[in-house]
Structure 1
Amino acid sequence: MSEPLLRLEDLQKTFGRAPGGIRAVDGVSLDLHPGETLALVGESGCGKSTLARLVLRLTDPTGGRILFEGQDIAGLSQPRMKAIRRDLQFIFQDPFSSLDPRMRAGSIVTEPLAVHGLVSQRGERTSAAVRLLEAVGLSARHIGQWPRQFSGGQRQRLGIIRAFAMRPKLIVADEPVSALDVSVRSQVINLLQDLQDEQGTAYLFISHDMASVKHMASRVAVMYLGQIVEIAPKSTFFSAPQHPYSHALLSAVPISHPAKVRDRILLPGDPPSPAAIPKGCRFHPRCPIAEPRCRTEVPEARPVGEGHLVACHFASPWPLGGGGGRPR
């Protein structure tokens, strides 16, 4: 196994002051290796987008370390971060609001090159724009068009190739297909994989869409209330998840075969507020297998298989498996 491209060590982000502060990210530790895709899944409000912003230093951490190629970037000044940003890029969720409506497509995709001084002459920017647009299935005739003249899928392609223009080592993709029609999602997912194969880029892939995760990911990390509760290779996660929260997430995934059904796990209530995190295991108020121990003891992440960590006192495999179901 290669050295991690990205390593997070006890990463924390609290908004506001204690004791009423909101612990959006609370002690996250994980590794991401060159060329792999780590999918980050969990309910809305669990801290996924905040973690993405921390990795990119769009917001500063409260504690912990962010090691990129072995260098702690958590405390770097913005001038020192500028050079590193060439290797750290972002694909935004919304292809409508993430593009400047006052810039034409050619300027949008070459802006990163201009910011870092890689192109200066007008002719260079034009040839670079053509090359980049053609890489995502667009053409030279799109250079002078405004974002409003593109479809949602085309706008997301502009956002994707803008991120890839610098040939970065890591891209954080925050729900990159959730705003797109289902008919367009597979095209964009395939484009992301083709560009990854070509450039060897690593992805931190944030998504609610388990079908996209299953197609894209090398590993899956499950986040709940600011913490990672399970992390596993993709095949293991979808066939034998062990945390009760992972069971519930996968039980909600539709089964394509009409002759099969899956027992849906309905969790009671809503996730607790990050400003009032429960004692012990923070999942215990909604957990179907919680016992008294869960209300007082914080579970440590423990290995249950190769590359498989679970933070649960009573973790156990899901007998139905993540990809199947039982016959009617």
Structure 2
Amino acid sequence: MTKLLEVTDLSKIFGGSVRAVDGVSFSLGERETLALVGESGCGKSTVSRLILRLTDPTAGVIRFEGQDMARMSQRALKAIRRDIQFVFQDPFSSLDPRMTAGDIVTEPLSIHGMVKGARQRRETAETLLRAVGLSAKHVDNWPRQFSGGQRQRLGIIRAFALGPRLIVADEPVSALDVSVRSQVINILQDMQEEKGTAYLFISHDMATVKHIADRVAVMYLGKIVELAPKASFFSAPRHPYSEALLSAVPASHPQKRRKRILLQGDPPSPIRIPPGCRFHTRCPIAQDVCRREEPALAQVADNHLAACHFAQAWPIASRLGEAMAPEPLAELSN
């Protein structure tokens, strides 16, 4: 697979002491969807902003099609941003309330000189709106006149307007009702199939990730702790934190009991990262070595990486004992 994006030892420190991102490395191939998952505050959104150069990295290298983005001039960055676009989490605040739908979706084209004149802009806007299931008559509507799902469609087609090679989607469906999430996900998949775009898909919703991702990268406290193909990750996770995330996904059938891993406490502060494995303070199988030595992100199976001293001893779930409790049927049925 041709590498479209390569991130190597990426770090971001805020205020001299807050290690929001700490040595993250991964690659993304053409037409691939890599899901970056983890709890709130793990650093996944900061990674997206670093890739887009909305903030500068403290250390590390970001290469897009072999070009080092950290060394690019502002002029070169403007050109490359035609190929890297962003879909925001909030489908309302990401749209300018003073612009019509037509102006919103054609603004990127106008900035890059790809449409000229009112007539061409309007015709282009109508074509773009129809591509995501909206009507051409919506071209003069304001953002407040759309539902949340319709606003997110505007955000998606605005991102696709320039024909990007990569779209960074930061929690693109988390602010939507469950009833419209699948519609938006289907639009993203249809657009990817048609345009051949790659996605860096940031989410905490493992059910959505299972539906859309090709590979999954799990972040905890600024680091990637597991990186694997989707099938391998969901069938045989090799990190206790990944097990905990997956245990919270509702079972596919209401009569099936799913064992829950109940993590104790909150993640440590990125100002005071614990020694050794940074997950050991909440890990139900932590040993002395976990408190002393930080495990490297290493290969434990075909294309499957994990940063755990006991990753080779899978299945982890069989060794968690009392730390895992059956999920009540009543909870599954809600």
Q: Shorter-chain-normalised TM-score: which range?
A: over 0.9
Hey, what's the Cα distance between the residues in 2 that align with 1:59 and 1:76? 14
CA, structure 1 residues 327+295, in 2 after alignment: closer, same or farther (shift >3 Å)?
closer
Could you tell me which residue of structure 2 aligns to residue 222 of structure 1? 218
The residue correspondences of 1:3-42 to structure 2 (distance < 5 A) are 4-17=3-16, 21-42=17-38
Q: Distance in 1 between matches of 2:327 and 2:109?
A: 53
Report the number of matched residues. Answer: 320
Alpha-carbon offset, residue 140 of structure 1: 1.3
Maintained 8 Å contact 2:243/2:317: no
2 CA distance for matches of 1:94 and 1:286? 31
- Name the counterpart of 1:262: 258
Deviations 1:135-167 (A, max 9, x none): 001121000000000000000000000000011
CA distance in 2, matches of 1:326, 1:109: 45
Deviations 1:27-48 (A, max 9, x none): 0000000000000110000001
Give the root-mean-square deviation of aligned CA atoms: 1.4
Counterpart residue number, 2:323 = none
Distance in 2 between the 1:63 and 1:255 partners?
Answer: 41
Aligned residue type for 2:7: L
Q: Deviation at 1:123? A: 1.3
TM-score by length of 2: 0.94
Does the aligned pair in 1 maintain the 2:260–2:327 contact within 8 Å? Answer: no
1:128 aligns with 2:112: no
SS state at 1:35 partner = coil
Whether the 8 Å contact between 1:34 and 1:201 is mirrored in structure 2 is yes
Is the 2:91–2:151 Cα contact (8 Å) retained in structure 1? yes
For residue 254 of structure 1, report the CA deviation from its aligned partner: 1.1
Task: Select the residue among 127, 146, 152 that pairs with 1:150.
Answer: 146
Which residue in the other structure is 1:317 paired with?
A: 315
User: Which amino acid is 1:184 matched to?
Assistant: V
- Do 2:170 and 2:203's aligned partners in 1 also have CA atoms closer than 8 Å? yes
Q: Give the TM-score of the pair, scaled to structure 1.
A: 0.95
What's 1:300 paired with? 296
Contact 1:219 1:231 in 2 (8 A): yes
Which residue number corresponds to residue 115 of structure 1? 111
- Percent identity between matched residues is 71
Call closer, same or farther: CA 1:5–1:134 in 2, change over 3 Å: same
1:49 pairs with 2:49: no
Residues 224-267 of structure 1 show CA distances to partners (whole Å, capped at 9, x for unaligned) of 00000000000111111010000000011111312111111111
Moved >6 Å (runs of 4+): 325-328
Partner residue in 2 for 1:286: 282
- Between the aligned partners of 1:309 and 1:326, the Cα distance in structure 2 is 29
Partner of 1:171: 167
Query: What letter matches 2:241 in structure 1?
Result: Y
Of stretches 115-124 and 83-92 in structure 1, the one that deviates more from structure 2 is 115-124
Q: Secondary structure at the match of 2:150?
A: helix
User: How many Å separate the matches in 2 of 1:140 and 1:27?
Assistant: 46
Cα distance in 2 for residues equivalent to 1:58 and 1:275:
22
- Quick one: which amino acid aligns to residue 182 of structure 2? S
Task: Say whether residues 1:189 and 2:185 are aligned partners.
Answer: yes
Q: Distance in 2 between matches of 1:123 and 1:306?
A: 54
| C-alpha distance in structure 1 between counterparts of 2:192 and 2:102, whole Å | 22
**1:79 CA drift (Å):** 2.2
Look up the equivalent residue of 1:139 and give its one-letter code. S
Alignment-mate amino acid for residue 79 of structure 2: A
Residue matched to 1:87 = 83
